[in-house]
Amino acid sequence: QKTMEKPWSTTSVTARADAGKPDNVGDDEVLKSAKDEIICALRLEKHKEKDKIINDLLQNGRQSLSNHKVEFAPKVYTAAINENNGQLMKSLKKYFERQWKIKYDSSNQWFKLFLEEYKDAVNYDSVLNRTAEYGHKYLKDCPILSIVLQLLFEGIDDKFFDETNAFNDLWCTITNNGLKSIENFSDNKKQSVLLQALREYYRPKLFELLEISEIQDEDNLYESALNNVAKYGWLQGLQEVEERIIVRHYNTLRANIPVFDDTSGKS
């Protein structure tokens, strides 16, 4: 695997206003080109269901074609489903890779640099293939964190998603308990990348909870809470800033913490 040479800053580069910012990827020429290639590979240029099929494909990957089997000539459908190095998969991978690079560019330059560093990693193509095959299925509710986890943990393969469900266990553990829940992960550069990704996961959820709980962002409280929650998870992370919050508001906050499942052990 290629060694990452650049240190990754843990300084926040995303303003709170960016948390709900729409994705400005629709006008990108590379995405348009890849989309046109997909349409061509599936012979959909004049098909009346073209937009419906393409939208499903770009959301749910190649597997979604089974929902539209009757819309294709058998020869076209069989080639699309079975050819792993065919034009369809190449174009889907091109589309998703470009989407990764530009979707978060304005607010997450570190992620773009991370992808560039990992482009030659042994599992980079595997992650792209998985995304082309299943679309957003395994990207959860935070694509940045999912992609980072899949790239940093080299042992993650398709069995982790389908047979053992191990990726879901990893996801629940780290999104409940933060960076500290990952044992034997001493590489500082990797830790820094994962911390950045966890900040992206927690930010919209945490800031919304703080606002609902009527907790004011005084003396950089929101960023401090975000750093602690990303490092230590919901419960311990919020305890780190408890002394700075009115008791009634803190109790409201604690009552609404979104801890999922019973995955509290180490990973």
What are the sequence ranges of the domains in the chain? 11-18+26-108, 138-267
Specify the pLDDT at position 23.
Answer: 46
| Percentage with pLDDT > 70 across the chain | 84
Specify the pLDDT at position 260.
Answer: 60
Specify the pLDDT at position 15.
Answer: 34
Specify the pLDDT at position 146.
Answer: 95
pTM here is 0.82
The residues, any chain, with a CB within 8 Å of residue 216's CB and separated by 6 or more, are none
Flag the least confident range among 65-74, 97-106, 211-220.
Answer: 97-106
Q: Which amino acid is at 247?
A: V
Specify the pLDDT at position 184.
Answer: 64
What is the DSSP track for 167-194? HHHHHHHHHHH-GGG--S---HHHHHHH
Within a 10 A sphere around the Cβ of 46, how many other Cβ atoms? 7
pLDDT greater than 90 at residue 60: yes
Mean pLDDT value of segment 195-202: 96
Do 143 and 135 touch, CB atoms closer than 8 A? no
Over residues 122-180, the pLDDT tens digits come to 889 999 999 999 999 999 999 999 999 999 987 887 778 876 788 988 999 999 999 99
Cα–Cα distances in Å, from 247 out to 143, 178, 229, 240? 35, 24, 19, 14
Over residues 14-32, the pLDDT tens digits come to 333 343 344 455 558 889 9
Specify the pLDDT at position 259.
Answer: 72
